[in-house]
Amino acid sequence: MAKLVEDYIHGRIDIKGDFRDFIGTRTDYVTYKLVADHVKFFLTRFIPEVTIHSKKQDERIVQDHYDRGNDFFNWFLGPRMVYTSAFFTDLNQDLETAQDQKMKLVCDKLQLKRSETLLDIGCGWGTLVLYAARERDADATGITIAEEGAAYATEQIAEAGYSDSARILRMDYRDIPHKKYNKISCLEMAEHVGVKYFSRFMRQIYSMLEDDGLFYLQIAGLKAGVHMESLVWGLFMNKYIFSGADASMPLSFVVKNLEKAGFEIHSVENIGIHYSITIDRWYDNWMRNKEAIEKKYGQFWFRLWQVFLGWSVHIAAQGNSTCFQIVCNKNLETYNRKRFVGEIGMGERLNESSNNIPTEMPAAVE
* 286 occurs within a structural domain: yes
Tell me: pLDDT of 31 over 50. yes
Average pLDDT in the 1-20 region?
90
Q: For residues 295-322, b (16+ Cβ closer than 10 Å) or e, as one string?
A: eebeeeebbbbbbbbbbbbbbbbeebbb
Give the structural domain span for 324.
Answer: 2-349
* 74 occurs within a structural domain: yes
CA–CA distance from 119 to each of 182, 213, 239 (Å)? 8, 11, 30
* 366 occurs within a structural domain: no
* 295 occurs within a structural domain: yes
* 206 occurs within a structural domain: yes
Tell me: pLDDT of 314 over 70. yes
CB neighbours (10 Å) of residue 209? 22
Higher pLDDT, 233 or 149: 149
pLDDT band at 358 (very low <50, low <70, confident <90, very high): very low
Q: If residue 204 lies in a helix (H) or strand (E), which one and from where to where?
A: helix 195-208
Cα–Cα distance for residue pair 299/291, rounded to 1 Å: 10
* 360 occurs within a structural domain: no
Residue range 132-173, pLDDT digits in tens: 999 999 999 999 999 999 999 999 999 999 999 999 999 999
**Range of lowest pLDDT (11-25, 41-55, 69-83):** 41-55
Q: Is 0.85 surpassed by the pTM of this model?
A: yes
* 256 occurs within a structural domain: yes
CATH of the domain at 127: 3.40.50.150
pLDDT band at 303 (very low <50, low <70, confident <90, very high): very high
* 363 occurs within a structural domain: no
Mean pLDDT, all residues of the chain: 89
The pLDDT of residue 19 is: 92
Residue range 335-344, pLDDT digits in tens: 999 999 987 5
Higher pLDDT, 192 or 77: 77
Residue range 109-138, pLDDT digits in tens: 999 999 999 999 999 999 999 999 999 999
* Structural domains in the chain (count): 1
pLDDT band at 56 (very low <50, low <70, confident <90, very high): confident
